[in-house]
């Protein structure tokens, strides 16, 4: 489906707002709130040769919400995989927080990453922008500003835009809220993919969910569990390898 087709469908779905928004407000008050994982948001994996430096920035999944430890979360798991596959040492650092949008991450999260060159930057955003019904052009502009700011601080590193998950598959969300947010999240995911094709060394890594994906969620029905993070890291590692990003 084209970006324009998704935009039309997502905009039409806003007609459901009188039914969906009260559901969202109710969930905001009543939904289970899980803490962020304990532990350091950075580390070093031993290996040979010059160390690869992996940075990530994003919303609550990258903060490890719902997990016991940070080493179960995406960035640490991906660092493990890259160290194992390359034989090189890998340093990693993550700046993430629940509730953040692409626009807010520019000022609230990017400064948390230590300055200096990076070899790979992962951006994991889009769910909160979907919840806020962010228009696709503004979302693209926010991502563009974030990428440029990160490259000014960390050099011309390859950037992977992690796919925005299809929120219609989130077990927590009832209909018609799930439909409205599902269309918005698919729109923003397609917009991110379009942006990636227009920029040098920026890649979009889809994050497919299907009817069997319920097993990848925490008990809150909203955040990925340890298995979900593991499969996500495996997909990203394969994505990096297939495109010879390093």
DSSP classification of residue 112: G
What pLDDT score was predicted for residue 151? 98
What pLDDT score was predicted for residue 133? 97
Pick from 130, 139, 122, 151: which is nearest to 229 by CA? 122
Q: What is the pLDDT of residues 31-65, one digit of tens each?
A: 999 999 999 999 999 999 889 999 999 999 999 99
What pLDDT score was predicted for residue 211? 81
Q: What is the pLDDT of residues 122-141, one digit of tens each?
A: 999 999 999 999 999 999 99
- Tell me the C-alpha distance between 246 and 53, whole Å: 11
Q: What is the pTM of this model?
A: 0.97
- Tell me the C-alpha distance between 11 and 44, whole Å: 45
Question: CB-based contacts of 37: which residues, under 8 Å, 6+ apart?
Answer: 63, 64, 65, 66, 67, 68, 69, 70, 72, 73
3-class secondary structure, 173: coil
| Domain extent listing, the chain | 3-242
Q: What is the pLDDT of residues 172-200, one digit of tens each?
A: 999 999 999 999 999 999 999 999 999 99
Q: What is the pLDDT of residues 138-173, one digit of tens each?
A: 999 999 999 999 999 999 999 999 999 999 999 999
243 confidence band (pLDDT: 50, 70, 90): confident
What pLDDT score was predicted for residue 49? 83
Paired residues of 159 in beta bridges: 121, 202
Q: Stretch 221-236: mean pLDDT, rounded? A: 97
Q: What is the pLDDT of residues 78-113, one digit of tens each?
A: 999 999 999 999 999 999 999 999 999 999 999 999
What pLDDT score was predicted for residue 245? 82
Question: CB-based contacts of 148: which residues, under 8 Å, 6+ apart?
Answer: none
Dihedral (C-alpha) 79, 85, 88, 89: value to the nearest 10 degrees?
20
From residue 225, alpha-carbon distances to 4, 108, 161, 191, 244 in Å are 33, 25, 20, 27, 28
Residue 116: is its pLDDT beyond 80? yes
CATH class of the domain at 3-242 = alpha beta
What pLDDT score was predicted for residue 212? 86
15 confidence band (pLDDT: 50, 70, 90): very high
What pLDDT score was predicted for residue 67? 98
Residue 235 CA, chain-centre distance (Å), reads 13
Residue 246: is its pLDDT beyond 80? no
Q: What does pLDDT average to over the chain?
A: 96
Paired residues of 48 in beta bridges: 88
């Amino acid at each position: 489906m084209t970006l324009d087709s998704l935009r039309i469908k997502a905009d039409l779905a806003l007609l459901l707002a009188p039914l969906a928004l009260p559901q969202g407000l109710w969930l905001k008050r009543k939904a289970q709130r899980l803490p962020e994982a304990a532990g350091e948001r950075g580390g070093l994996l031993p290996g040979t040769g010059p160390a690869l430096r992996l940075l990530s920035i994003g919303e609550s999944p990258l903060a490890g919400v719902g997990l016991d430890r940070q080493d179960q979360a995406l960035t640490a798991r991906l660092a493990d995989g890259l160290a194992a596959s390359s034989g090189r040492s890998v340093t990693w650092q993550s700046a993430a927080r629940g509730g953040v949008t692409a626009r807010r991450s520019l000022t609230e999260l990017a400064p948390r990453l230590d300055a200096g060159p990076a070899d790979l930057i992962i951006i994991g955003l889009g769910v909160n922008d979907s919840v806020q019904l962010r228009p696709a052009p503004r979302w693209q502009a926010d991502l563009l500003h974030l990428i440029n700011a990160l490259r000014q601080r960390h050099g011309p590193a390859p950037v992977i835009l992690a796919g925005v998950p299809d929120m219609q598959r989130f077990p927590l969300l009832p209909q018609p809220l799930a439909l409205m947010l599902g269309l918005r999240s698919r729109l923003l995911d397609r917009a991110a993919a379009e942006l990636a094709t227009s920029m040098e060394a920026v890649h979009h890594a889809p994050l497919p969910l299907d009817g069997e994906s319920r097993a990848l969620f925490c008990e809150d029905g909203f955040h990925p569990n340890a298995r979900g993070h593991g499969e996500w890291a495996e997909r990203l590692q394969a994505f990096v390898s297939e495109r010879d990003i390093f």
